[in-house]
């Protein structure tokens, strides 16, 4: 990749990283913001109260749904208006963050995010809403959380299987950031370090789910991956997963984990510099071998059909993805090649 000429935007955001200190760090941030009527968005009531119980909460909102259906977004906006809130706190995974973003998109309310997964949405200005089986995404600085409070101990509540899938979702952000439409050398550097951290952390999480060392490495890698992704934009991998998630209501993290090796094998040969950097981050002879070794070590999900994607949906999805393929994808994309990629992901026929 040439470094002679590029434009890179760095998003304005504060990060507080302190294991075991989420409640205290969040309280300090709320005090600094000077807000007094919070809407706490969280699927799990007990966790929300554990982290935000001492804050000036005007309303606790637990109506959180994966992929942010438009009806869910509308209800949350109505709740925010009814309780005259002046800030949003989201505690949980990408679904909670996504719902807070949907509210911020139309209200401009500031968000403080407390992630409990490795989804990375908290570090981006990307929003997504699903309506009638179609997921629409966009970019708007109003949805970027002002502050992210990272507490690796909170991710201990995430089961091992979900931790693996969520971490591989973060890794997909890194890989896509190597060749997405706005990718630049800074994104590549962040993504390479993100892959290194995730490759180090995820096996530790798998082997010792309650240990903090692996969780911290994985959370650190997830943050780097999201920052790179926010700058580089959505590449082919994310376009595929957005279509699949919206069309078939597939689980977000597992879908990313399953599709990733197929996109890497598809694009890698036409992106030699990206392939070299990914391989180096894995410490492997090739990017595909590095990813395959990690997936094997953490027992990654393999097939879309295991998550109830219908076989007859392959061709429909391929057509929808083809219409959304980003400009400048390293490898030429056709309906035939997309159909083959999706079929392999559906069947669990991993690249060799």
* Residue 251, helix vs strand vs coil: coil
Q: Mean pLDDT of all residues in the chain?
A: 94
Other Cβ atoms closer than 10 A to 185: 13
Evaluate whether 82 touches 67 at the Cβ level (below 8 Å): no
Domain boundaries, the chain: 14-155, 160-347
Alpha-carbon distance of 21 to 16, in angstroms, equals: 10
Question: Which tens digits make up the pLDDT trace of 53-92?
Answer: 999 999 999 999 988 999 999 999 999 999 999 999 999 9
- Strand arrangement, sheet containing 38-41: 14-17, 147-150, 111-115, 87-92, 38-41, 57-61
Of the listed ranges 4-8, 241-245, 270-274, the one predicted with least confidence = 4-8
- β partners of residue 150: 17
pLDDT in tens, 139-163: 999 999 999 999 999 999 899 999 9
pLDDT tens digits along 38-56: 999 999 999 999 999 999 9
Give the rounded percent of residues in the chain with a pLDDT score beyond 70.
Answer: 99
Neighbours of 230 (CB within 10 A): 25
Per DSSP, the residues of 131-199 read ETTEEEEEE-GGGS-SEEEE-GGGGGGS-HHHHHHHHHHHHHHHHHTTTSTT--HHHHHHHHHHHHHHH
What would the mean pLDDT of 215-236 be, rounded to a whole number? 95
pLDDT band of 7, cuts 50, 70, 90: confident
For domain 14-155, the question of CATH label 3.40.50.1970 is answered with yes
Strand partners, 135: 130
- Residue 236's pLDDT is 96
| Rounded-to-integer distance, Cα 144 and Cα 160, Å | 28
**Confidence band, pLDDT 50/70/90 cuts, at residue 2:** low
CATH for 160-347 is: 1.20.1090.10
pLDDT tops 90 at residue 135: no
The full DSSP string for 110-136 is: -EEEEESSS--GGG--EEEEEETTEEE
Residues 186-214 pLDDT 10s: 999 999 999 999 999 999 999 999 999 99
Q: Per-residue confidence at 133, pLDDT binned at 50, 70, 90? A: confident
- Strand ranges in the chain using DSSP code E only, listed in sequence order: 14-17, 38-41, 57-61, 87-92, 111-115, 126-131, 134-139, 147-150
Q: Using alpha carbons only, what angle is made at residue 26 by residues 204 and 221, rounded to the nearest 5 degrees?
A: 30
pLDDT at 235: 93
Cα(315)–Cα(335) distance, integer angstroms? 9
pLDDT band with cut points at 50, 70 and 90 for residue 332 = very high
Q: What confidence score (pLDDT) does residue 3 get?
A: 57
Q: CA-CA distance, 131 to 242, in Å (whole number)?
A: 12
What is the rounded CA–CA span in Å between residue 309 and residue 303?
Answer: 9
Contact 98, 121 (CB under 8 A): yes
Residue 312's contacts (CB-CB under 8 Å, 6 or more residues apart) are none
- Tell me the mean pLDDT in the region 226-232: 93
pLDDT band per the 50, 70, 90 thresholds, residue 344:
very high
Reduced DSSP (H G I as helix, E B as strand, rest coil) percent helix, strand, coil of the chain, to 5:
55, 10, 30
**Beta pairing class for 87-92 and 38-41:** parallel
The two domains 14-155 and 160-347 share their CATH topology (first three levels equal): no
Tell me, what's the pLDDT at 6? 85
94 close to 255: Cβ distance less than 8 angstroms: no
Averaged pLDDT, 152-176: 95
């Amino acid at each position: 990749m040439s470094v002679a000429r590029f434009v890179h935007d760095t998003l304005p955001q504060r990060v507080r990283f302190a294991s075991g200190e989420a409640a205290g760090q969040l309280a300090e941030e709320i005090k600094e913001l000077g807000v007094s009527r919070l809407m706490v968005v969280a699927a799990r009531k007990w966790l929300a109260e554990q982290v935000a119980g001492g804050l000036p909460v005007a309303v606790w909102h637990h109506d959180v749904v994966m992929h942010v259906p438009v009806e869910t977004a509308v209800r949350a906006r109505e709740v925010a208006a009814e309780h005259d809130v002046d800030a949003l706190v989201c505690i949980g995974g990408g679904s909670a963050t996504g719902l807070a973003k949907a509210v911020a998109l139309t209200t401009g309310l500031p968000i403080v995010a407390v992630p409990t997964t490795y989804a990375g949405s908290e570090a981006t200005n990307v929003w997504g809403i699903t309506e009638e089986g179609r997921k629409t995404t966009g970019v708007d600085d109003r949805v970027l959380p002002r502050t992210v409070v990272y507490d690796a101990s909170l991710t201990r509540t995430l089961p091992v299987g979900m931790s693996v899938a969520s971490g591989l979702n973060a890794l997909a952000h890194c890989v896509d950031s190597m060749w997405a439409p706005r990718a630049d050398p800074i994104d590549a550097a962040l993504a390479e370090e993100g892959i290194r951290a995730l490759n180090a952390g995820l096996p530790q999480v798998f082997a010792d789910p309650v240990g903090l060392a692996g969780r911290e490495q994985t959370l650190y890698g997830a943050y780097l991956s999201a920052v790179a992704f926010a700058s580089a934009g959505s590449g082919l991998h994310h376009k595929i997963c957005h279509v699949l998630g919206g069309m078939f209501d597939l689980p977000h993290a597992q879908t990313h984990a399953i599709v990733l090796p197929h996109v890497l094998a598809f694009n890698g040969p036409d992106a030699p510099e990206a392939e070299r950097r990914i391989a180096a981050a894995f410490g492997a002879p090739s990017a595909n071998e590095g990813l395959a070794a990690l997936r094997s070590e953490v027992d990654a999900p393999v097939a879309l059909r295991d998550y109830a994607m219908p076989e007859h949906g392959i061709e429909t999805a391929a057509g929808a993805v083809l219409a959304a393929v980003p400009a400048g994808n390293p490898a030429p994309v056709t309906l035939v090649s997309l159909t083959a990629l999706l079929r392999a992901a559906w069947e669990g026929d991993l690249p060799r």
